[in-house]
Structure 1
Amino acid sequence: MKLGIVAPALVLFAGCAQHHPAPLPAPIGVCQAAPVQRFVGQQATPALLGEVQRISGAATARRITPEMRVTMEYSDARVNVWVGLKGEAERITCG
């Protein structure tokens, strides 16, 4: 008799449990700028650009200097290293 009362109650409470699926990893080739912010202020050498690309997960990287003209189309597969007049990375963004 007690099992007949407890079983329906368990079914009711099972619906109250919250289900939080694990976040999906970013697709391969999609830029993540947060992990590479530590490179801001360093000299933007080809080695640094390669490291930024690798750590950010981006498929491509581009070095943008003050005198350069660049296209403004957004690409989530690209990391941009904005370089100052002294050759240091001033900011790093995706796009």
Structure 2
Amino acid sequence: VILRGTYSAVCAPTGTAFFDTTGNTGLQTQGASNVLAGVIAGLLGQGYQSITAAVLGLHLVGLSAELYAGRYSERSLTATSLIDLLGEAYHQLEAK
């Protein structure tokens, strides 16, 4: 289960919860949840375990929103903007 909010959470069936603080109010835009679902589905297709795909997907989409807000206003964030920045967000994670 994914609970999106100021502090988003991914809750596993075992009762374990993972929290993520990335993102901003721009993620309330229409289509952001669809982008998140698509990212998670793509990660599952690459062979990630479901909990890992959910945690990583949530973080990538949140990081994409933060990258956008660093350049523009988060109020103008669109689902397409999130998609456009996913590669950069993934690259930032790989660099760490």
Larger radius of gyration: 1
Q: Which has the higher helix share?
A: 2
Q: State the TM-score, normalized to the length of structure 2.
A: 0.26
Q: State the TM-score, normalized to the length of structure 1.
A: 0.26
